[in-house]
Structure 1
């Protein structure tokens, strides 16, 4: 279970990386708002998963 929590945490960090990805002045500058939305969704989803797994582990014993 520890490896899956680490994987979810890294995925959450990836979401934050998408939010702060510098794309100004590149061919992807038109996708900046889309990448922000994708990053926010990834960060929120995996944060909820990490919290859910922690609560399960807490009540499991």
Structure 2
């Protein structure tokens, strides 16, 4: 398994971008709550992936 820490970190930042995306007053204003939920899921998944890989690297020796 390759160490893609930078890729996971960028995906984590993308999740935060989805959470903070200003869509009020645009054609996508109805998608605001959906984008927040997608952003939260992305942040959680990639945070767990980063923590998992860090723990594996720590205990591997």
Aligned partner of 1:21 in structure 2 is 21
**Which string of whole-angstrom CA distances, capped at 9 and with x for unpartnered residues, describes residues 5-43 of structure 1?**
110011011000000000001100000000000000000
**Equivalenced residues, count:** 59
Q: What is the TM-score normalised by the length of structure 2?
A: 0.94
**Which string of whole-angstrom CA distances, capped at 9 and with x for unpartnered residues, describes residues 35-60 of structure 1?**
00000000000000000000000011
Aligned partner of 1:5 in structure 2 is 5
Runs of 4 or more off by more than 4 Å in structure 1? none
Q: How is 1:1-61 mapped onto 2 (pairs within 5 angstroms)?
A: 1=3, 4-61=4-61
Taking only aligned residues, the RMSD between alpha carbons, in angstroms, comes to 0.5
Q: What is the TM-score normalised by the length of structure 1?
A: 0.94
Runs of 5+ consecutive residues of structure 2 not aligned to the other structure: none
Runs of 5+ consecutive residues of structure 1 not aligned to the other structure: none
